[in-house]
């Protein structure tokens, strides 16, 4: 018997893969959601926190950075599990951005951890739900967002809101990357070919061969299973609160075609005549 694994994970955390089917479409959803948040928070200024899936890998949260079309667009701050999360640095980062723009948009992975490796939400709340495997339940709960809002309200005033990007980002029917859709079908077809023509087990992998082209390989199961693939250091800013251009170049092709930009009027501002 030959067994061939067909991968699919929006977390994009399988080793020996440039990316996995599902990630491109989920990333497209996250990008479009933050594009909308930019318009909303620009019209009603304040602080907004969006909690995105990703217990151990920050790829999906990092994708939010591609929502920035203008220099002052958010997310202004991006935090992923690969870098330690400090409460004090977070508050200081938000203060700095808020003073500069009069608003601050934050994207944060549900799995951010303290310098000791403890889940940040667990360091603040002790009565969290635990799944059958003993892991703290992160998806489908607003615990992290609410905890971060509470920390900010200790030192900042004004409009502070949060959203948790739950299961909608996993499979939003009207938000599919055409690149992701085509590659997902190709991975399935290659799996059948490997199973019929081959004589060994494995997991179908996507390998990037150019900008942008891919090839499909059969990875050994032992090289894919168990250990999580993390974002490489070159994708994360040195301060640990943003992404780099290397990640933008990596992720952009995966979003597919037809990504829209909200235009801005380029009219001169009229001097204010009335006091508040």
- Provide the sign of the torsion angle of the four alpha carbons 170, 205, 259, 50, taken in this order: positive
Q: Environment class of residue 52 by beta-carbon count within 10 Å: exposed (0-12), middle (13-18) or buried (19+)?
A: buried
Catalytic residue among 11, 73, 93, 242: 11
Is the Cβ–Cβ distance between 218 and 200 less than 8 Å?
Answer: yes
R_g of the chain, CA atoms, integer Å: 20
**What token pair was written down for 32?**
């479009």
Element (H, E) at 49: strand 47-52
Cα–Cα distance for residue pair 15/207, rounded to 1 Å: 11
- Respond yes or no: is residue 11 known to be catalytic: yes
Give how far Cα 4 sits from Cα of 22, 25, 152, 218, 229, Å.
18, 23, 48, 8, 20
Cα–Cα distance for residue pair 135/101, rounded to 1 Å: 38
77-79/104-109 β-pairing: parallel
Q: Which residues contact 219 (CB under 8 A, 6 or more apart)?
A: 16, 17, 202, 203, 204, 205
What SS3 class is residue 240?
coil
- What is the DSSP code (8-state) at residue 32? H
Q: What are phi and psi of 176, to 5 degrees?
A: -125, 130
Active site (catalytic) residues: 11
């Amino acid at each position: 018997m030959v067994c061939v694994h067909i991968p699919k994970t929006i977390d994009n955390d399988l080793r020996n893969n440039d990316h996995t089917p599902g990630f491109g479409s989920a990333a497209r959803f996250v990008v479009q959601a933050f594009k909308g948040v930019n318009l909303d928070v620009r019209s009603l200024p304040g602080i907004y926190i969006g909690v995105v899936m990703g217990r151990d890998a920050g790829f999906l949260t990092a994708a939010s950075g591609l929502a920035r079309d203008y220099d002052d667009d958010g997310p202004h701050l991006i935090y992923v599990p690969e870098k330690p999360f400090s409460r004090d640095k977070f508050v200081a980062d938000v203060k700095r951005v808020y003073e500069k723009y009069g608003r601050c948009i934050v994207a944060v992975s549900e799995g951010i951890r303290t310098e000791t490796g403890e889940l940040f939400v667990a360091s603040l709340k002790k009565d969290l739900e635990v799944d059958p495997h003993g892991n703290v339940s992160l998806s489908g709960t607003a615990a992290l967002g609410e905890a971060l809002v509470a920390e900010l309200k200790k030192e900042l005033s004004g409009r502070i809101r949060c959203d948790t990007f739950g299961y909608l980002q996993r499979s939003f029917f009207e938000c599919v990357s055409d690149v992701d859709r085509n590659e997902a079908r190709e991975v399935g077809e290659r799996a059948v070919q490997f199973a019929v023509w081959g004589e060994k087990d494995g997991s179908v992998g996507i390998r990037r061969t150019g900008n942008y082209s891919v090839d499909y390989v059969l990875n050994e199961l032992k090289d894919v299973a168990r250990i999580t693939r993390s974002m490489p250091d070159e994708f994360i800013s040195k301060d640990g609160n943003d992404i780099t251009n290397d990640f933008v170049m990596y992720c952009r092709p995966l979003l597919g075609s037809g990504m829209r930009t909200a235009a801005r009027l380029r009219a001169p501002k009229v001097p204010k005549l009335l006091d508040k």
